[in-house]
Amino acid sequence: MNYVVLFSSIIGFSVLFFVLHLIFKNKISIFYKIFSVLSALFFAGWFLLAGGNVLKSAFLNFSNPFNSKFLCLMAGFACWITFATTVLIQLMPFFKFNVLKNLTKTVGLIGTVFVIVFLNQLIYSFSKSYEFSLLGALIAVHIGFLFSYSLHTCIVDKGFYIPKKELKELFIGLAILLVFSIPPYMLKLFFGNVGTNLIKSFEVYHRIYIYISFAFLLGIYFLLRNKDKEFCRMVLLYISLVTLISYCYNYSYSIFTTPTRWPLHLCNTAMFILPLCLLFKMEWLFYFTLFINVIGAFFAMLMPNYSALYSAFSTEVVSFWINHIMAFAMPVLIILLGVYPRPKLKHFLYSLMVFVFYFALVLALNAWFTNYNTNVDFFFLNSDFIVAKLGRWAEDTRNFIWAFKIGNLKFVFYPLYQFLFFVVYLLLGLIMWFLYVWIFNTQDFYKELKNKNKKIKLDEIILTTKYNAKSVEECMNEQSKGKLVLKNVYKHYGNSRVDVVEDISIEVNEGEIIGFLGLNGAGKSTIIKCIVGIQPASSGSIEINGYDIEKQPVQAKAQFGFVPDHYALYENLTGREYVNYIADLYEVGKEDRNARLFELVKNLNMSNSFDNQIKTYSHGMKQKIAIMSALVHNPKLWILDEPLTGLDPISIYQVKECMRQHAKNKNIVFFSSHIIDVVEKLCNRIIILNNHKIVADVKLKDIPKGVTLEQFYLNTVGEKLEK
């Protein structure tokens, strides 16, 4: 009789689907959505009508009722596939991703055929009878709907054909489909009693469950981190719905009429809240789970409240961990994958307000319902479960009791214990806020690092293709060989529309010493930082000896030596140790290094102090060590930012001679300074910056006769300022 109902429903639904498809064609999606919602309600109806106790008892005994372990396993698989396919088909009309169609027309169709073969065993598992009944008929109709829907999807969507590029996603979807829809009694059905007395107190199976919790969090995150936000929502919604079904295996209609059995424990609420938050935008409720449920689930996993006599794969233990893994990991995944925006302070305050309401509610219900059932203990506010783990001092907090009667009802509260419980939990919620900030910062760091590495690889491909080079190590622009070239460089900070420097174009040839002049705040240091790569230019390009500082940063930075205005040295090292350390970074050979150090030490008069610790040096001596470090690899470009500040006349002379010698060797010296007299005597070309732009770029020989550089500078800057 069950098969008569099944095949009748298959014929009826199949005809209905195809008629609607022919009539409405592209507008049929609204009917699919209606059928999906009705199917969900229909499934919930017969699932609660069956109740979990019959289902549970049927799978705990292999010899009875099926008298066959094989049939018992097949019945278990039939339930498993029914749960997985039900949620899959409920989601399909609401998400336009091919993986749902592919799963429905393959796994859904093949799976429901399997369920049809073992339909009687499936029905017996829920009704404990092979005789025809209302429950059996409802189950048969539901399976008929699943098969008809899967068959219809297969026919209207190119049959079983699946493009190769979608196969990988199909197999990943299949794994998620089966792993998370497994009913809680299946592990015991497969493996029997395992690990009795080893599932608490951090024994081996307890630790394994904790590892699985974190593996789920990390695994799903890395699997979905590059996916579309809506795709992530779909996957997380599927997981939350199938695990909710597993969690409700022991529920029936009696739950609604028995308030003492309501799922009001903190972590229990998460199983119902999470699907709602993924289906609808319920920020105030979601952030409650994020700040309150997660920390509660974490402590529950550390201190599980099931009996130590249960086996590791018992239905009670598996159900406990399904519940708490979801409550712990799912809210974090929802945030990390961008389904909900990262919490702000207002969201944290929302969560606290909801928690205050929840705490007051369960406090009152505990005291009220205890009159009908002494085992009522929502959120552990009625028992000593928490304090028993903290010692005598904590247990003593329950000695303060406030009791009163209203009619025949007695209400008992533990004000000190319950107040401290509330305060501690609020503090834990605050800790969660700081923890999430750290997690988000870490996520941003690695995301930025990944994007930067991706950009470097892309730049390498573009460069080698554009310039027909064999390697990114090669000079990409031969025309800029031996030069410093800035083209149309702009720089602004963050989202500001104000440019710190505007349209800077400079070309410096080898052998030149360039003086870089300008008022304080004109942008000199900003341009230098862009040249050396400390700050990226907002637009434009910078090439050093043919290497682009943005696209070939490592190669470009090997072409210059930089002496900043504020340097930092490792002062516990000697001068020789520090300069050798820098030479190692630039991979300078031993012979070249020794030859250059000999010349530098002699020219800068550091022979007597080079082997002393840097912390014993004067300011001028430290400046000389910074200069030696910048020159040890014989760079094509030597950049100095205010190098002569604070030096004595002899040291100034020594540094100037080094600059002349470096330029004489067909290199470039580019330095900024406010000491006009030094610039005039040393440089052969000056660049003046004012109001973030270049206002003069001239050779000193081209300055009119009789006009000093100081007068020229003041006139140039003064004219600009007057405008």
Instruction: Give per-residue pLDDT as tens, 447-469.
Output: 888 888 887 777 777 767 766 66
- For residue 574, what is the DSSP state? B
pLDDT in tens, 50-68: 875 444 444 555 444 566 7
H helices present in 382-513, as ranges:
392-396, 415-466
Q: CA 463 → CA 306, 474, 636, distances in Å?
A: 62, 10, 22
Write down the pLDDT at residue 719. 54
Which residue has better confidence, 275 or 706? 275
636 φ, ψ (degrees, to nearest 5): -70, -35
Any idea what DSSP says for residue 291? I
Q: Do 359 and 343 touch, CB atoms closer than 8 A?
A: no
Tens of pLDDT, residues 316-356 = 888 899 999 999 999 999 999 999 998 888 888 888 898 99
What is the pLDDT at residue 263? 86
Q: Are strands 484-491 and 513-518 parallel, antiparallel or unpaired?
A: unpaired
Residue 303 pLDDT = 86
- 571-594, pLDDT tens digit by residue? 999 999 999 999 999 999 989 999
The H or E element spanning position 7 is helix 2-24
426/626 Cα distance (integer angstroms): 53
**14-23, 92-101, 479-488, 591-600: the lowest-pLDDT one:** 14-23
- Using the predicted structure, report yes or no on whether residue 48 has a pLDDT greater than 80: yes
* Domain 480-722: which CATH number of 1.20.20.10, 3.40.50.300, 3.30.2270.10, 3.90.550.10: 3.40.50.300
For residue 130, pLDDT beyond 90:
no
Q: How confident is the model at residue 196 (pLDDT cuts 50, 70, 90)?
A: low
H/E element, 525? helix 524-532
Q: Which two tokens stand for residue 354?
A: 């909801």
DSSP state of 26: G
pLDDT tens digits, 21-41: 778 777 777 888 888 899 899
Considering the chain, tell me which residue range(s) the CATH 3.40.50.300 domain(s) occupy: 480-722
Q: Summarize the confidence of residues 132-159 as an average pLDDT.
A: 87
503: left (phi over 0), alpha (psi -120 to 50) or beta: left
For residue 519, what pLDDT band results from cuts at 50, 70 and 90?
Answer: confident
Residue 560 β-bridge partners: 637
Q: What's the whole-model pTM score?
A: 0.69
Tokens representing 63 are 């010899």
Residue 641 burial (C-beta neighbours within 10 Å; 0-12, 13-18, 19+)? buried
Q: What percent of the chain has pLDDT over 70?
A: 95
Task: Compute the average pLDDT of residues 219-226.
Answer: 91
- What percent of the chain stands above pLDDT 90? 37
So what's the pLDDT on residue 54?
45
375-390 mean pLDDT: 85
Nearest to 225 by CA among 444, 432, 437, 435: 444
Q: At 720, is the pLDDT very low, low, confident or very high (cuts 50, 70, 90)? A: very low
pLDDT surpassing 70 at residue 690: yes
Note the pLDDT tens digit of each residue in 539-571: 999 999 989 888 888 889 999 999 988 888 999
Model pLDDT, residue 189? 78
Residue with more model confidence, 126 or 592: 592
What does the DSSP 8-state code read for residue 557?
A: H
Euclidean distance between CA atoms 33 and 104, whole angstroms? 15
Please tell me the predicted confidence (pLDDT) of residue 58: 45
For residue 163, is the peptide bond before it cis, meaning its omega torsion is within 30 degrees of 0?
no
Task: Quick: pLDDT tens for 624-655.
Answer: 999 999 999 999 999 998 888 778 889 889 99
DSSP H helical ranges for 533-589: 553-557, 575-585
What's the pLDDT score for residue 53?
45
Q: Tell me the C-alpha distance between 326 and 303, whole Å.
A: 16
Q: How far is CA 558 from CA 42, 168, 285, 623, 658, in A?
A: 70, 44, 55, 21, 20
> What is the per-residue pLDDT for 637?
94
704 preceded by a cis bond (ω within 30 of 0): no
Looking at the predicted structure, is the pLDDT value of residue 200 above 90? no
Going from the C-alpha of 542 to that of each of 324, 325, 490, 634, the distances in angstroms are 55, 52, 11, 20
CA distance 527 to 233: 45
Q: How confident is the model at residue 472 (pLDDT cuts 50, 70, 90)?
A: low
DSSP 686: E
Q: What is the CA radius of gyration of the chain?
A: 37
**Phi, psi dihedral angles at 157 (to 5 degrees):** -120, 55
The single residue listed with the structure tokens 């973030």 is 692
pLDDT of residue 87: 93
pLDDT digits (tens, 9 = 90+) for 106-119: 888 999 999 999 88
- C-alpha torsion sign, points 473, 475, 477, 481: positive
Write the CB contacts of 410 (distance below 8 Å, at least 6 apart in sequence).
370, 371, 403, 404
- Of 393, 411, 386, 391, the residue nearest 401 (C-alpha): 411
Q: Which residue has the tokens 């030859």?
A: 595
**pLDDT digits over 492-512, tens only?**
887 787 888 999 999 999 999
pLDDT of the residue at 274: 94
Q: What are the tens digits of pLDDT across the range 280-291?
A: 888 888 999 999
* pLDDT over threshold 90, residue 169: no
What's residue 157's pLDDT? Answer: 78
Mean pLDDT value across residues 348-370: 91
- DSSP designation for 305: -
What does the pLDDT read at residue 65?
A: 57
